Amino acid sequence: MMEMLQQGDAVTRAVALLLLLMSVSSWVVILWKTWLLRRAAADVARGTAAFWQAGSVDSARDLLAALDREALVLPLLDATRPAPEGVLAAAGERAQQLTRALREALHQATDRLQFGQVLLATVGSTAPFVGLLGTVWGIYHALAGIGASGQVGIEQVAGPVGEALVMTAAGLAVAIPAVLGYNVLGRRIARIEADLEGFAHDLRALMAPQDVTH
Protein backbone atom coordinates (compact mmCIF):
# COMPACT_ATOMS: atom_id res chain seq x y z
CA MET A 1 0.00 0.00 0.00
CA MET A 2 2.77 2.45 0.89
CA GLU A 3 4.64 1.66 -2.31
CA MET A 4 1.47 2.20 -4.33
CA LEU A 5 0.84 5.54 -2.63
CA GLN A 6 4.41 6.64 -3.29
CA GLN A 7 4.14 5.71 -6.95
CA GLY A 8 0.60 7.01 -7.37
CA ASP A 9 -0.54 10.50 -8.20
CA ALA A 10 -2.84 12.94 -6.41
CA VAL A 11 -6.01 11.00 -7.34
CA THR A 12 -4.66 7.77 -5.86
CA ARG A 13 -3.67 9.50 -2.63
CA ALA A 14 -7.01 11.30 -2.42
CA VAL A 15 -8.92 8.03 -2.80
CA ALA A 16 -6.77 6.37 -0.13
CA LEU A 17 -7.28 9.31 2.23
CA LEU A 18 -11.03 9.23 1.63
CA LEU A 19 -11.17 5.51 2.42
CA LEU A 20 -9.16 6.12 5.59
CA LEU A 21 -11.55 8.86 6.72
CA MET A 22 -14.57 6.67 5.96
CA SER A 23 -13.08 3.79 7.92
CA VAL A 24 -12.20 5.91 10.96
CA SER A 25 -15.59 7.63 11.02
CA SER A 26 -17.53 4.37 10.72
CA TRP A 27 -15.53 2.69 13.49
CA VAL A 28 -16.01 5.70 15.76
CA VAL A 29 -19.78 5.54 15.17
CA ILE A 30 -19.87 1.75 15.67
CA LEU A 31 -17.98 1.85 18.97
CA TRP A 32 -19.83 4.91 20.28
CA LYS A 33 -23.29 3.62 19.38
CA THR A 34 -22.53 0.16 20.81
CA TRP A 35 -21.77 1.80 24.15
CA LEU A 36 -24.70 4.21 23.85
CA LEU A 37 -27.31 1.59 22.93
CA ARG A 38 -26.18 -0.78 25.67
CA ARG A 39 -26.64 1.99 28.22
CA ALA A 40 -29.90 3.15 26.66
CA ALA A 41 -31.40 -0.35 26.69
CA ALA A 42 -30.52 -0.74 30.37
CA ASP A 43 -31.91 2.71 31.23
CA VAL A 44 -35.19 2.09 29.39
CA ALA A 45 -35.68 -1.25 31.16
CA ARG A 46 -34.87 0.15 34.60
CA GLY A 47 -36.74 3.40 34.03
CA THR A 48 -40.02 1.81 32.91
CA ALA A 49 -39.85 -0.72 35.74
CA ALA A 50 -39.21 2.05 38.28
CA PHE A 51 -42.10 4.09 36.91
CA TRP A 52 -44.65 1.37 37.57
CA GLN A 53 -43.25 0.76 41.04
CA ALA A 54 -43.49 4.45 42.01
CA GLY A 55 -46.26 5.68 44.25
CA SER A 56 -47.18 8.69 42.11
CA VAL A 57 -46.36 10.36 38.83
CA ASP A 58 -44.27 13.02 40.57
CA SER A 59 -42.16 10.46 42.42
CA ALA A 60 -41.82 8.48 39.19
CA ARG A 61 -40.53 11.61 37.45
CA ASP A 62 -37.88 12.03 40.14
CA LEU A 63 -36.79 8.41 39.72
CA LEU A 64 -36.58 8.73 35.94
CA ALA A 65 -34.50 11.89 36.25
CA ALA A 66 -31.86 9.79 38.02
CA LEU A 67 -32.15 6.60 35.95
CA ASP A 68 -32.79 7.86 32.43
CA ARG A 69 -29.28 9.02 31.50
CA GLU A 70 -30.00 9.23 27.75
CA ALA A 71 -33.30 11.13 28.25
CA LEU A 72 -35.43 8.61 26.35
CA VAL A 73 -38.16 7.75 28.88
CA LEU A 74 -38.44 10.99 30.85
CA PRO A 75 -39.51 13.10 27.82
CA LEU A 76 -42.41 10.70 27.31
CA LEU A 77 -43.58 11.32 30.85
CA ASP A 78 -43.10 15.07 30.49
CA ALA A 79 -45.19 14.97 27.30
CA THR A 80 -48.23 13.91 29.36
CA ARG A 81 -48.38 17.27 31.12
CA PRO A 82 -51.42 19.29 30.06
CA ALA A 83 -50.77 21.96 27.45
CA PRO A 84 -51.38 25.58 28.53
CA GLU A 85 -54.78 27.00 27.77
CA GLY A 86 -55.22 29.13 24.69
CA VAL A 87 -52.96 27.14 22.34
CA LEU A 88 -53.92 24.60 19.70
CA ALA A 89 -52.06 21.88 21.55
CA ALA A 90 -54.77 22.06 24.21
CA ALA A 91 -57.55 21.60 21.67
CA GLY A 92 -59.51 18.37 21.45
CA GLU A 93 -60.01 15.59 23.92
CA ARG A 94 -57.37 14.59 26.42
CA ALA A 95 -56.57 11.38 24.54
CA GLN A 96 -55.91 13.33 21.35
CA GLN A 97 -53.63 15.74 23.16
CA LEU A 98 -51.68 12.84 24.62
CA THR A 99 -51.37 11.17 21.22
CA ARG A 100 -49.88 14.29 19.66
CA ALA A 101 -47.48 14.97 22.53
CA LEU A 102 -46.32 11.37 22.87
CA ARG A 103 -45.84 11.01 19.13
CA GLU A 104 -43.57 14.07 19.09
CA ALA A 105 -41.58 12.77 22.07
CA LEU A 106 -41.18 9.40 20.37
CA HIS A 107 -39.92 11.05 17.20
CA GLN A 108 -37.29 12.95 19.17
CA ALA A 109 -36.16 9.77 20.95
CA THR A 110 -36.00 7.91 17.64
CA ASP A 111 -33.88 10.65 16.10
CA ARG A 112 -31.37 10.34 18.94
CA LEU A 113 -31.24 6.56 18.60
CA GLN A 114 -30.89 6.68 14.81
CA PHE A 115 -28.09 9.24 14.86
CA GLY A 116 -25.08 7.87 12.96
CA GLN A 117 -26.98 5.19 11.07
CA VAL A 118 -27.02 7.27 7.89
CA LEU A 119 -23.23 7.53 8.02
CA LEU A 120 -22.84 3.76 8.34
CA ALA A 121 -25.27 3.15 5.48
CA THR A 122 -23.46 5.67 3.30
CA VAL A 123 -20.03 4.21 4.01
CA GLY A 124 -21.26 0.66 3.47
CA SER A 125 -22.79 1.49 0.10
CA THR A 126 -20.14 3.83 -1.33
CA ALA A 127 -16.79 2.52 -0.01
CA PRO A 128 -16.58 -0.38 -2.55
CA PHE A 129 -17.10 2.07 -5.41
CA VAL A 130 -14.51 4.47 -4.01
CA GLY A 131 -12.05 1.58 -3.82
CA LEU A 132 -12.97 0.54 -7.35
CA LEU A 133 -12.31 4.08 -8.54
CA GLY A 134 -8.85 3.88 -7.00
CA THR A 135 -8.26 0.53 -8.69
CA VAL A 136 -9.35 1.74 -12.12
CA TRP A 137 -7.26 4.87 -11.83
CA GLY A 138 -4.27 2.91 -10.55
CA ILE A 139 -4.48 0.44 -13.43
CA TYR A 140 -4.74 3.28 -15.93
CA HIS A 141 -1.79 5.03 -14.32
CA ALA A 142 0.27 1.80 -14.37
CA LEU A 143 -0.57 0.93 -17.97
CA ALA A 144 0.16 4.47 -19.09
CA GLY A 145 3.58 4.25 -17.48
CA ILE A 146 4.25 0.87 -19.08
CA GLY A 147 3.19 2.19 -22.48
CA ALA A 148 5.45 5.21 -22.13
CA SER A 149 8.43 3.01 -21.28
CA GLY A 150 7.87 0.81 -24.34
CA GLN A 151 8.34 -2.40 -22.34
CA VAL A 152 5.39 -4.79 -22.33
CA GLY A 153 5.58 -8.06 -20.41
CA ILE A 154 3.78 -9.97 -17.76
CA GLU A 155 6.31 -8.93 -15.15
CA GLN A 156 5.82 -5.25 -16.04
CA VAL A 157 2.00 -5.55 -15.88
CA ALA A 158 1.44 -7.89 -12.92
CA GLY A 159 3.16 -5.73 -10.32
CA PRO A 160 1.46 -2.37 -10.94
CA VAL A 161 -1.95 -3.95 -11.62
CA GLY A 162 -1.71 -6.08 -8.48
CA GLU A 163 -0.86 -3.01 -6.44
CA ALA A 164 -3.82 -1.15 -7.91
CA LEU A 165 -6.18 -3.98 -6.96
CA VAL A 166 -5.29 -3.35 -3.32
CA MET A 167 -7.64 -0.36 -3.49
CA THR A 168 -10.58 -2.67 -4.19
CA ALA A 169 -9.70 -4.77 -1.16
CA ALA A 170 -9.37 -1.59 0.91
CA GLY A 171 -12.84 -0.46 -0.19
CA LEU A 172 -14.34 -3.79 0.86
CA ALA A 173 -12.46 -3.69 4.16
CA VAL A 174 -14.05 -0.32 4.87
CA ALA A 175 -17.55 -1.27 3.70
CA ILE A 176 -18.01 -4.65 5.40
CA PRO A 177 -17.69 -3.44 9.04
CA ALA A 178 -19.97 -0.50 8.25
CA VAL A 179 -22.69 -2.76 6.82
CA LEU A 180 -22.42 -5.23 9.70
CA GLY A 181 -22.51 -2.40 12.23
CA TYR A 182 -25.54 -0.85 10.56
CA ASN A 183 -27.48 -4.12 10.69
CA VAL A 184 -26.52 -5.10 14.24
CA LEU A 185 -27.09 -1.63 15.67
CA GLY A 186 -30.33 -1.31 13.71
CA ARG A 187 -31.75 -4.38 15.43
CA ARG A 188 -30.81 -3.00 18.85
CA ILE A 189 -32.40 0.34 18.00
CA ALA A 190 -35.59 -1.41 16.87
CA ARG A 191 -35.88 -3.24 20.19
CA ILE A 192 -35.44 -0.03 22.20
CA GLU A 193 -37.95 1.78 20.00
CA ALA A 194 -40.47 -1.02 20.54
CA ASP A 195 -40.05 -0.70 24.31
CA LEU A 196 -40.53 3.07 24.12
CA GLU A 197 -43.64 2.73 21.95
CA GLY A 198 -45.12 0.23 24.39
CA PHE A 199 -44.42 2.53 27.31
CA ALA A 200 -45.98 5.47 25.43
CA HIS A 201 -49.11 3.41 24.77
CA ASP A 202 -49.32 2.47 28.45
CA LEU A 203 -48.90 6.12 29.45
CA ARG A 204 -51.74 7.14 27.20
CA ALA A 205 -53.95 4.43 28.68
CA LEU A 206 -53.02 5.57 32.19
CA MET A 207 -53.59 9.28 31.62
CA ALA A 208 -56.80 8.97 29.54
CA PRO A 209 -58.32 5.54 30.34
CA GLN A 210 -61.84 6.49 29.36
CA ASP A 211 -60.76 7.19 25.76
CA VAL A 212 -58.83 3.97 25.11
CA THR A 213 -60.79 1.37 23.16
CA HIS A 214 -58.02 -1.08 22.27
Q: Is 81 left (phi over 0), alpha (psi -120 to 50) or beta?
A: beta
- 67: domain range? 2-209
Dihedral angle over CA of 199, 205, 206, 208, nearest 10: 140
**172 is a domain residue:** yes
**127 is a domain residue:** yes
Q: Is 210 left (phi over 0), alpha (psi -120 to 50) or beta?
A: alpha
**214 is a domain residue:** no
Q: Torsions phi, psi of 146, nearest 5? A: -65, -40
pLDDT in tens, 176-195: 999 999 999 999 999 999 99
**114 is a domain residue:** yes
**198 is a domain residue:** yes
**144 is a domain residue:** yes
Please state, as a whole number, how many other Cβ atoms lie within 10 Å of the Cβ of residue 31: 11
pLDDT in tens, 138-165: 777 777 766 766 665 555 565 666 667 8
Domain count, the chain: 1
**135 is a domain residue:** yes
How much is the pTM?
0.80
Higher pLDDT, 2 or 156: 2
**157 is a domain residue:** yes
- pLDDT number for residue 190: 94
- The predicted model gives 81-110 an average pLDDT of 80
Higher pLDDT, 36 or 87: 36
- pLDDT number for residue 214: 39
- pLDDT number for residue 10: 78
pLDDT in tens, 48-74: 998 998 888 888 888 888 888 888 988
